[in-house]
Structure 1
Amino acid sequence: MLRQTPAAQPLVKGPRRNPITVSSCLQHPLPGHPPRMVNSAVSSSTRNLTSTEKSYSEDQQLAYICLFPDILSKARAKLEANEAFKGIAARVLDPAVDEDDRLIHALHPNRTGSALPSRVHTEIDTIGFINTKLVWPAVLILQLMKKLDGANLDDLPYAASVNGTRGVGTPDSALYSFVGDLARAFMEWKTANAMPESVIRELASTLRRHLSSGARVPVRVWWPDDTSDTSLSKEIKILFQIWCQIVSRAHISVAGVSSLNTTMFFYRHPAKPDVLFASEPLEYRWVTVMDFVAMFALGLGIVKLEDSDLPTLNQDDCHYMDSYYRRYPNPTPGLDKRNVAGILKQRKDWQANLPKSQKRKAEDDQATPTAIRRKSTVVSRMRRRDEKLPSASFSARHDGDDQTTPKPVKRARQDSGTSGTFGKRMTQPEADDSDEDDDGDL
Structure 2
Amino acid sequence: MVGNATQHPLSPTSPTDAHFASIRPPAELQADAYGHIPIDGPVTLLRCIITAPYSGGLPTMWNANVSSSTRAPIDAERRASVDKQLRWLTCLDTLIPLAQDKLLAKLDQYQLLDRKLDPNDPRDASVLHAIHPFRTAHGLPPTLYSEADSTSHINARFIWPAIHLLRLLLVEMKRSDAPMAFESYTTSAKDLFVSSSEGQRKGHNAENIPDGILRYMLRNLAVLEWKTENALKTHDFNDLIQRLVAHAASHQSDSGIVPARVEWGRSTQSVSESRTKIIFQVWSQMRWRDCGADEQLQFACLSSLQATYFFYRPSEHQGAMFISQPLNIVDATVLKFAAFFALAIGLTKLDEQDIPSMNTAYMNEFDGLYRHIPSRPIGVDYV
Structure 1-normalised TM-score?
Answer: 0.67
Match of 2:308 in 1: 263
Q: Which residue of 2 aligns with 1:29?
A: 52
Structure 2: gaps spanning 5 or more residues? 1-28, 30-40, 176-185, 291-295
Q: Which residue of 1 aligns with 2:128?
A: 104
Shift of 1:308: 2.2
Q: Label 1:254 to 1:327 Cα distance change in 2 as closer, same or farther (>3 A).
A: same
- Match 1:241 to one of 256, 268, 281: 281
Q: Is the 8 A contact 2:171 2:189 kept in 1?
A: no
**How far apart are the structure 1 equivalents of 2:42 and 2:135?**
16
Q: Give the distance between the partners of 1:274 and 1:85, measured in 2 at CA.
A: 36
Q: Are the structure 2 counterparts of residues 38 and 73 from structure 1 closer, same or farther at C-alpha, using a change threshold of 3 Å?
A: same
What is the aligned counterpart of 2:67 among 25, 43, 47? Answer: 43
- Return the alpha-carbon distance in structure 2 between the equivalents of residues 283 and 76 of structure 1: 16
- What per-residue deviation string (whole Å, max 9, x for no partner) do you get for residues 131-173 of structure 1? 0000000000111122221532774301111124633311001
Residue of structure 2 aligned with 1:310, choices 355, 366, 373: 355
- Counterpart among 58, 67, 71 of residue 95 in structure 2: 71
- 1:107-131 deviations in Å (ceiling 9; x for gaps): 1222211221111111111111000
CA distance in 2, matches of 1:45, 1:75: 30
| Whole-angstrom CA distance in 2 between matches of 1:20 and 1:46 | 41
Among candidates 120, 142, 156, match of residue 132 of structure 1: 156
Aligned-partner Cα distance in 2 for 1:159–1:38: 28
Shift of 1:94: 2.3
**Mapping 1:205-244, distance limit 5 Å:** 205-215=242-252, 216-229=257-270, 231-244=271-284
Q: Measure how far apart 1:306 and its partner are.
A: 2.8
The 8 Å contact of residues 187 and 257 in structure 1, kept in 2 or not, is answered as yes
Q: How big is the shift at 1:275? A: 0.9
Which of 69, 78, 81 is the aligned partner of 1:57? 81
Do the aligned residues in 2 keep the contact of 1:160 with 1:173 (CA within 8 Å)? yes
Q: Any residues of structure 2 matched to 1:277-426 within 5 Å, and which?
A: 277-315=322-360, 317-328=362-373, 331-338=376-383
**Cα deviation per residue 1:399-422 (whole Å; 9 max; x = unaligned)?**
xxxxxxxxxxxxxxxxxxxxxxxx
Q: Which AA in structure 2 matches 1:262? A: A
Matched, 1:152 2:187: yes
Query: Is the 1:33–1:284 Cα contact (8 Å) retained in structure 2?
Result: no
The separation in 1 between residues aligned to 2:363 and 2:73, in whole angstroms, is 28
The 8 Å contact of residues 80 and 86 in structure 1, kept in 2 or not, is answered as: no
Asked if structure 2 preserves the Cα contact closer than 8 Å seen for 1:30 and 1:285, the reply is yes
Q: Supply the distance in 2 between the matched residues of 1:89 and 1:269 (Cα, whole angstroms).
A: 30
Taking the aligned partners of 2:305 and 2:332, their CA distance within structure 1 comes to: 9
SS at match of 1:246: helix
User: 1:74: how far off?
Assistant: 1.3
- Say which one has the larger Rg: 1
Percent identity over paired residues: 33
Residues 19-53 of structure 1: CA deviation (Å, up to 9, x unaligned) = 62111211111233432221211225421000011
Q: Secondary structure at the match of 2:342?
A: helix
Aligned length: 319
